[in-house]
Structure 1
Amino acid sequence: MIIQKKSNTIVWKDIFTCVELPAPLKRAEELAYNLWWTWNPAATNLFERMDPDLWFETDGNPVKLLRSLSLNRIDALLHDAAWMQNLDEVYMAWQAYMSAPTDSSRPSVAYFSMEYGLSHVLKIYSGGLGVLAGDYLKEASDSNVPLTAVGFLYRYGYFDQRISVDGQQLATYEAQDFNLLPIQAVTDEGGHPLVFEVPFSDRTVYCHVWRVQVGRISLYLMDTDLEKNNLSDRQITHNLYGGNWENRMKQEYLLGIGGILLLQHLGISKEIYHMNEGHAALISAQRLADYVEQKGLPFDVALEVVRSSSLYTVHTPVPAGHDYFDEELLGRYMGHFPHRLGISWQEFIDMGRTTPGSSEKFSMSVFALNTCQEANGVSYLHGVVSRSMFAPVWPGFFAEELHVGHVTNGVHLPTWASPESQAFYKKHLGTDYVSRQADESTWAAIEHIPSDEIWQLRSQLKENLLHYITHDYRKRWLRANDGSANLPEGLDCIGLNTLLIGFARRFATYKRAHLLFTDLDRLSRLVNHPDRPVRFLFAGKAHPADGGGQGLIKHITEISRRPEFEGKIIFLENYDMHLASKLIAGVDVWLNTPTRPLEASGTSGEKA
């Protein structure tokens, strides 16, 4: 008999400690856990005044700020009468906002998306699709629409970007500490973190569920990074748009099938089910199964019920933006569904094929079109392009006869209007301008504002940007690079009389970031003119699998380091929502050069 002694076995446990805030500061904690602060300057200013240096060190994350406050600073705040009064005012404004009754005349909505751009501190977004989704939730909150959203909480999110000395994009993935994010775990009846079970074809995948409060709107995020899952399944929610095609299949299964089951588990039922891109198309598969198995409806009847309450938003005409799965891979995850629906495998897979009966791959976009009564592009031109692109799905109809429409993308005004702009609008348009923003007459007052006041605002926003990139951005850049890499030159040489032109977005090749550089001699004359200084600010990430996009970044970086362009063409690393807000407010001109008609709407331009 062998006796193994375990008395010296090391057992690791995670322990998280922080200062317990006194009762008077608990209201600040409540505010920190509702992303209402992201579009209310009074709230962000309140947090910054708690400790300006710590606010910078925590990258403007109020939860991390509160967890990092020293006892001395807490005591100072409690004795700061002006700050405590400000806390009362902001808290009362938030309470009044939250207590407004829901608009019961609007249909209730369940919204599904792979990404949400809500704040730079919550890394669950990559580009315009996510920014639209995040702004959509904020606008739903302001409009008091009964909406609930579903997505993923990514452990590593989208990557952080660094540019090497030779201009190469370096992608690094840093784990998010969920304890320091403005999110809260959903708990079970016993007060323990909910472990939600999602049945896959041959196993169960377990999820923790987190709630993000976006004003009046709840966003539920699934997280599979649990010890109960095998390593492969833990990685489902590690990265946004990461991994191989099988991991993408798992993600879309979890978002669609798991998302509907999660809402059912939480007792949430809605009138409209909205797929933000084809990633969420499988919500229709689960809803079909529910109507057939639980309501006893024949498949054809169930399909009409699902169609009548489903909406699909398509975001791009670029083929890479639409997911196609091999039949074998699809069968491994969805092979059990036809039996549940009372149809054959051939009938099921044909719902995702442009040509039924062919050997085409299964298209999530086509499946969405076949299970949604309504579909829309995100601009007028994109609607036209989408009807043409999807025309083969409905043979015998002209493209212009199809039901694919458009709803032009917008952005959430209070999120992207700077604090100075918001104060300016309140002064000249009325304190209720946000609720009247869709009324054209609201903006007619602009014509009567003295030009010098508008120019004063423009100059202030430009000065804010210049201060940011010469101070805050510089410090962040040096901190991220351990002070060892070459800081972009020319940041200190930009004046208020310099024409600033901005280009910041995803570095996809069709957006043609390189177009400016087709005539370098002419460009050199422009940026080196002695009387009319011009500077170009570039920012943006290329997907790690997009060699062409990364090549554009390298090309622009190399040109920016040539003697005639040094300090005149500047690439700012690690583009995110925080940097975006500074750039779109501060530059004079926003450059947009996509290949027509591949740019569906251009969210960066919408922000500007």
Structure 2
Amino acid sequence: MITTKDIFSYEPDQKYATPVSYFSMEFAIDQALKIYSGGLGFLAGSHLRSAYELKQNLVGVGILWKYGYYDQVRDTSGIMKPAFVEKQYSFLEDTGIRFTIPIHDSPVHVKVWLLKPEVFKSAPLFLLSTDLPENDEVSRGISHRLYDSNEATRVAQSILLGTGGAKLLDLIGRDDTLYHMNEGHSISLNFYLYSKFKSVEEVKKRVVFTTHTPEAAGNEEHGYSLLQDMSFFYGLTEHEVKSVLGLEGHAFNYTLGALKFAGKANAVSKLHGEVSRDMWKGNPGICDITSITNAQNKTYWEDPAFGKALEAGDDTAMVARKKEMKKALFDLVADQCGKIFDENVLTVVWARRFAGYKRADLLMNDWERFLKLVNNSEYPVQIIWAGKPYPQDYGAIDTFNSIIDRTRSLTNCAVVTGYELKLSALLKKGSDVWLNNPRMYREASGTSGMTAAMNGCVNLSIPDGWIPEFAIDKENCFLIQPAADELSFEEKDRLEALNLIDTLEKEVLPTYYKDQSRWLSIVKKAAADVVPAFESGRMANEYYEVMFSK
């Protein structure tokens, strides 16, 4: 059986000697390993890459999803449909570790795989699977689909990650670790620890928590009776859980439970920290919530040739390389959509997880204004959309397909499918403007604009998430003026859509076409301001200094 000494290909730096185990439901390590859905996974992937670069004593704990999240394809009419295809990974090592955990009062068999550091230059990552012949069909299905839509399966996935991951660490002799919960999915590990130490205070000494969801309604919760029936509480009854944590009501909220079990917690931007502290302030017994702003790994995301030209201050080489990166993106657009884009035309990209609050179609809110924008011959523009809706989020899927239908006849608008790491990189490198227009206070951090800025792309954004910490309007980005907080959603959408198009027409496009030197100065300042402040080496170091210190 593998032990903790076998998993590192490097000697951890003494500065980062504290053993940390990073629990996350998804990790975006490489395009080849499809165990992620969106921003949470992208963040976790960059964290593990920087942990590797800094030689931190950190390991990841996740789940090996047999079918991944889903493959985003098109049906016969060209609209989106999810496909579930079994994945095979020859680069994962079978650790030989097998054990059982209780789910629904029955033993479920778990097998452990390891992604070694040298494969993709990341910290070691343990991946748990229940897809074993010893399990019945229902138990095998626990590790089949990321964020399964069946409630009982979803709960079982949290048990597998939390309880299963904690038990694994005991088995390999890493029980002295600090348990870092990246979002609340692994909350069950705390009940496993409580069964060992019989004290919430002892659990608090060993657990830290990162929250990512900036509104109470969006934080996962399930009824106590279901969780108790499924062995979620690792032997505790509903009454005992409520007594131990000082809870009441009919549903157990993962985030609230994590804030009561953790010794420290953090939000993922300064603004998100303010929102989170205000959201949870009425609950006694929760830990303090600080903030560590998310970041992304430059080594992985930055185009080396563009980075070299940027460092040398070679504007000619920067412009030439940007056009080459645009051509690479436009080859994909032509392949998928049959539309030929021009590398000399300003290209706007909206690309991220499809969810209602992110407002993928905000630019189309006033259809006549939108048509005027895309048909402007003086300041031509090309627009690309991409992203993955949750496969059962039919509202988001309808929005995705509506954008496809509405732009079919527009030769300078395209919707591309297959939004994973590879496409994300292609879009960031091949775009001139990175559009981000969520409803205010709903984007905890957002990181896609960071990696866009590393590749000569200018952010056009609502000042939410990480943006207020970065933005100098018209110097390193362009800001969309938000509407007043007290207005209705409909009125906010209307006003912010107008502000968005106004900013494009009056600021972004004229600068790009009439003042190239100013445009390049914005590009260069954005790249200079995003690193190291929003590079994940800073973030990984800050976690050790703030969250992982005793």
Flag whether TM exceeds 0.5 (same fold): yes
CA distance 1:130–1:216, change in 2 (3 Å): closer
* Secondary structure, aligned partner of 1:591: strand
State the distance in 2 between where 1:169 and 1:352 align: 44
For the pair 1:304 / 2:151, whether they are aligned, the reply is no
State the distance in 1 between where 2:201 and 2:216 align: 28
* Counterpart code for 2:12: T
Contact 2:50–2:122 (8 Å) recurs in 1: no
For the pair 1:406 / 2:316, whether they are aligned, the reply is no
CA distance 1:547–1:336, change in 2 (3 Å): closer
Identity value in percent: 33
CA distance 1:335–1:573, change in 2 (3 Å): closer
Alignment match, 2:357: 510
State the distance in 2 between where 1:345 and 1:592 align: 42
Contact 2:38–2:352 (8 Å) recurs in 1: yes
Contact 2:103–2:232 (8 Å) recurs in 1: no
* Counterpart code for 1:507: F
Alignment match, 2:506: none
Alignment match, 2:414: 570
Alignment match, 1:462: 326
Stretches of structure 2 that go unaligned for 5 or more consecutive residues are 1-7, 453-550
For the pair 1:132 / 2:38, whether they are aligned, the reply is no
* Counterpart code for 2:242: I
Contact 1:507–1:540 (8 Å) recurs in 2: yes
Tell me which of 220, 240, 264 is aligned to 2:146.
Answer: 240
Tell me which of 262, 266, 288 is aligned to 2:168.
Answer: 262
* Counterpart code for 1:263: L
* Secondary structure, aligned partner of 1:220: strand
Contact 2:188–2:233 (8 Å) recurs in 1: no
Alignment match, 1:315: 212
* Secondary structure, aligned partner of 2:60: strand
CA distance 1:210–1:225, change in 2 (3 Å): same
Alignment match, 1:104: 14
Tell me which of 250, 273, 276 is aligned to 1:383.
Answer: 273
* Shift of residue 198, structure 1, vs aligned partner: 2.0
Contact 1:351–1:367 (8 Å) recurs in 2: no
* Shift of residue 350, structure 1, vs aligned partner: 5.1
State the distance in 2 between where 1:99 and 1:361 align: 44
* Counterpart code for 2:95: V
* Shift of residue 410, structure 1, vs aligned partner: 0.3
Contact 1:414–1:422 (8 Å) recurs in 2: no
What TM-score results when the alignment is normalised by the length of structure 1? 0.69
* Shift of residue 137, structure 1, vs aligned partner: 0.6
Contact 1:114–1:279 (8 Å) recurs in 2: yes
- 1:171-221 deviations in whole A, cap 9, x for unaligned? 110011234xx211112xxxxxx3322234622111221101233621110
CA distance 1:109–1:586, change in 2 (3 Å): same
* Secondary structure, aligned partner of 1:408: coil
State the distance in 1 between where 2:381 and 2:154 align: 44
What does 1:83-482 align with in structure 2 at a 5 Å threshold? 101-106=11-16, 107-164=18-75, 168-179=79-90, 182-187=91-96, 194-200=97-103, 202-214=105-117, 215=121, 217-291=123-197, 299=198, 302-319=199-216, 321-334=218-231, 337=234, 345-349=238-242, 356=247, 358-394=248-284, 403-424=288-309, 428=312, 449-470=313-334, 474=335
* Secondary structure, aligned partner of 1:234: helix
- 1:222-257 deviations in whole A, cap 9, x for unaligned? 111111001110000000001411111111111111
State the distance in 1 between where 2:50 and 2:233 align: 39
Tell me which of 340, 363, 376 is aligned to 1:529.
Answer: 376
State the distance in 2 between where 1:124 and 1:137 align: 14
Tell me whether 302-311 or 151-160 shows the greater mean CA deviation.
Answer: 302-311
* Shift of residue 367, structure 1, vs aligned partner: 1.1
State the distance in 2 between where 1:304 and 1:328 align: 26
Stretches of structure 1 that go unaligned for 5 or more consecutive residues are 1-97, 188-193, 292-298, 429-448, 475-486
Alignment match, 2:477: none
Contact 1:335–1:345 (8 Å) recurs in 2: no
What does 1:534-553 align with in structure 2 at a 5 Å threshold? 534-553=381-400
Alignment match, 1:47: none
* Shift of residue 346, structure 1, vs aligned partner: 1.6
Contact 2:351–2:387 (8 Å) recurs in 1: yes
What TM-score results when the alignment is normalised by the length of structure 2? 0.76
State the distance in 1 between where 2:149 and 2:157 align: 10
Of structures 1 and 2, the one scoring higher in RCO (CA 8 A, sep 6+) is 2
CA distance 1:159–1:362, change in 2 (3 Å): same
State the distance in 2 between where 1:250 and 1:284 align: 15
Task: Note the aligned Cα RMSD (angstroms).
Answer: 2.2
What does 1:5-154 align with in structure 2 at a 5 Å threshold? 101-106=11-16, 107-154=18-65
Structure index of larger Rg: 1
* Counterpart code for 2:179: Y
Contact 2:29–2:122 (8 Å) recurs in 1: no
Contact 2:159–2:232 (8 Å) recurs in 1: no
State the distance in 2 between where 1:201 and 1:160 align: 30
For the pair 1:594 / 2:438, whether they are aligned, the reply is yes
- 1:428-460 deviations in whole A, cap 9, x for unaligned? 3xxxxxxxxxxxxxxxxxxxx243333233233
* Shift of residue 524, structure 1, vs aligned partner: 1.7
State the distance in 2 between where 1:172 and 1:185 align: 27
- 1:311-337 deviations in whole A, cap 9, x for unaligned? 111111245642211121111133774
Contact 2:265–2:290 (8 Å) recurs in 1: yes
* Shift of residue 421, structure 1, vs aligned partner: 2.9
* Counterpart code for 1:198: I
Aligned residues: 441
* Counterpart code for 1:526: L
State the distance in 1 between where 2:111 and 2:11 align: 30
State the distance in 2 between where 1:405 and 1:289 align: 28
CA distance 1:103–1:530, change in 2 (3 Å): same
* Secondary structure, aligned partner of 2:349: strand
* Secondary structure, aligned partner of 2:282: helix
State the distance in 1 between where 2:276 and 2:342 align: 44
Displacement over 6 Å in runs of 4+? none
Contact 2:21–2:178 (8 Å) recurs in 1: yes
State the distance in 2 between where 1:326 and 1:375 align: 24
State the distance in 1 between where 2:41 and 2:308 align: 27
* Counterpart code for 1:306: V
* Counterpart code for 1:186: T
State the distance in 1 between where 2:27 and 2:232 align: 30
CA distance 1:465–1:168, change in 2 (3 Å): closer
* Counterpart code for 1:385: V
State the distance in 1 between where 2:111 and 2:177 align: 26
State the distance in 2 between where 1:167 and 1:459 align: 29
State the distance in 2 between where 1:569 and 1:141 align: 40
State the distance in 2 between where 1:508 and 1:579 align: 19
* Counterpart code for 1:523: F
State the distance in 1 between where 2:135 and 2:362 align: 47
Tell me which of 498, 503, 506 is aligned to 2:345.
Answer: 498
* Secondary structure, aligned partner of 1:556: helix
